[in-house]
Structures are given as C-alpha cells and as structure tokens.
Amino acid sequence: MSAPPLNEKFASIRKGLLEFLILKIVASDKVYVADMLQRLSTTEFATQEGTLYPLLSKMRREGTVDYEWHESDAGPPRKYYKLTPKGKAQLDELNQYWAYINQTFDNLGRA
C-alpha cells in the first residue's frame, strides 16, 4: 500500500510542515491530542499518536507549547495543549515566512 509517487515527493515537506500546523491548531483552541488527530485526519497531514507525541514533547521542550491536565467526562484526565507567548511569536514568524515562500513560488517562472 504505497502512496503514489507525486505524494511521495511531498512526504518530507508534509513532515516538516506538521509542526507549523500543530502551532496553528493549538493557537485556535485548547486541544488534546485526539482533537489534533481528528482535525488533521481529513487533510493531507493526517498523522498518528506515534508521530504526534514525540513532536509535542519536542515543542514543549523548545517552549512553544505547554499543557495542563483537565478532567474529562469519559476516562482519565487529559493533557490540554496551549500556545506559549514564545509559540505565538514563532507562529507569527512562520505565517510571514509561509506567505513569503508562497509569493516566491507564484512569482518564479513568470515572464
């Protein structure tokens, strides 16, 4: 069950963009991991716990996200992630950089 070649070409780009997207998701709402997976599941960036937990722990070490424990109705308490001020600053920077990359991409090759 291998992905089509075109999809393969973008695998590393998708992987690199995942952290950016997590910042965006966490910025919009207080979310726990199942929420994040759910929101990504219908996109090109669908991922799994095995990828997400190590990434979130790295982001927390770098100080861009943090979590708090909240009781849940069903089952044990959950970690809800939120953006730190540093994460907010990084997201703004990334948004600008992304716009810049898009601009470059659109302009290149034009007469």
For binding to another protein (CB under 8 A), which residues are involved?
1, 3, 8, 11, 15, 33, 47-51, 53-55, 57-58, 60-61, 75-76, 79
CA distance 67 to 42: 25
CB of 97 to another protein, least distance (A): 20
Return the number of the residue (57 or 102) whose C-beta is nearest another protein: 57
Taking the complex as a whole, how short is the minimal distance between the CB of residue 67 and another protein, in angstroms? Answer: 10
Least distance in Å: CB of 49 to another protein? 5
Q: What is the 8-class DSSP label of residue 80?
A: E
CB contact at 8 A, 64 and 17 = no
Phi, psi for residue 27 in degrees, rounded to 5: -65, -30
Q: Between 28 and 41, name the residue whose CB sits nearer to another protein.
A: 41
CA distances from 53 to 5, 58, 111 (A): 28, 9, 45
